[in-house]
Amino acid sequence: MIITGLSLVFSVAFICAWHVDRRRVYLVLLGVACPLFALGALSQALGIPPGDGANAVVSGALYTAAVLSIAEGILWRSGKSFGLRTDILILLAFVISLAFFYYGYRSLLTRIYIQNFGYGFIFLAAAFKLTSLARGGRVDRVLFWVLLAFALHFFPRTVLTIGFPADFGRDALAHSMFWQALRLSLAVLACGLVMAILAAAVTDVIEDLRRERDIDALTGILNRRGFEERVAVYMRAGRRRVAALIFCDIDQFKAINDIHGHDVGDEILRDVGQMLAALARERDIVSRFGGEEFAVFLPDTNAQEAFECAERLRIAIEARDFPALGVGGRLTASFGVSAIKPDDDWSSLYKRVDAELYRAKRAGRNRTASHEARHPSAEGDLIEPQH
């Protein structure tokens, strides 16, 4: 009855967690699994339906449905699944096997093997599909190893049935070492698995809130807060000997809003933001810094490389067709570039790159400014647009 009560408590916890964030449908599956398991335990304990055969089949079906719901819930969290058809076939296979080894060839021992080994293999299959979690964050790693331990525990405890006759009675089962080990292992490992899943769900919600806080809603890339936070982490990590920062500002953006309207201005911002993100390397940090200004932080990049990167971005924007601006509509942007110096903090780096950006704007826009790099084809450090 203790396990039944815990199952219902866990069910309430999963459903409450789902109410907090209804996008996490996997919590519903887990919330349903707990009462299914509790119903299986009650069916077995109270002898409902009456008759050993009917009771074995019904309780076994409930247990199996609970196991599949737990496994699918854990898989759904990572975007994976056995599939509904597979789940139905597994459930039918268990029901038919349990019925056969009662009505066809009566063997309680075989039914124990079917359920314990079968459930162990279901959870092992789920763990196999989720091996990537072992290389993930701390909570993901804990969830994977607890799931694996839970899957494996079904096998050694079944050894305790060695020496039992094929059809020993239910009373003998209730007083056996196997049954006591089963109850204890379920109470400990099942609770551990549930707590790991709940911790993962809470972590997911927190990560989503952080992501929503740090992502610019219009462009889908980092906002200024998210950008500065990630750059600060990089700079604190002591890997700042080679890195650079680029600022990009869309030229004459106020005129675009005044002539075409703010909806077109928003579309331009989205396009430029997605364009910068697409052209950046995987390790680069791209942000809409504010208004029509964007920032790109480039780890492991010196001033000359960053300058050349900014030029490629500038030329790509100038060459891009923006239909929202109409036929012949042209968009340009100005860039400022600087590399991190040994004694830099974020404030000093930001001010230096911002000054470079405004130097490019004052010089006529649609160009890249940097005191630290030179274009191979230019005499100065201010690159004129090529026409």
* CA–CA gap between residue 386 and residue 384 (Å, rounded): 6
Residue 192 has pLDDT above 50, yes or no: yes
* CA–CA gap between residue 50 and residue 47 (Å, rounded): 5
Percent of the chain residues topping a pLDDT of 90: 51
Task: Compute CA 253 distance to the chain's CA centroid, rounded to the nearest angstrom.
Answer: 36
Q: How many CB atoms lie within 10 A of CB 264?
A: 18
Give the DSSP per-residue string, 162-228. TT--TT--HHHHHTSHHHHHHHHHIIIIIHHHHHHHHHHHHHHHHHHHHHHHHB-TTTSSB-HHHHH
Question: Torsion angle, CA of 358/359/361/363, rounded to 10 degrees?
Answer: 160
| Kind and range of the H or E run holding 249 | strand 243-250
pTM: 0.67
The full set of domains in the chain, from first to last, is 2-214 (no CATH), 224-383 (3.30.70.270)
Query: What tens digit of pLDDT does each residue of 122-169 get?
Result: 999 999 999 999 998 889 999 999 999 999 988 877 766 655 655 555
In sequence order, what are the residues at sequence separation of 6 or more whose Cβ sits closer than 8 angstroms to the Cβ of residue 23? none
| Residue of higher predicted confidence among 293 and 385 | 293
Residue 244 has pLDDT above 60, yes or no: yes
Cite the active site residues: 292
Residue 322 has pLDDT above 50, yes or no: yes
Q: Supply the DSSP symbol for 298.
A: E
* CA–CA gap between residue 229 and residue 236 (Å, rounded): 11
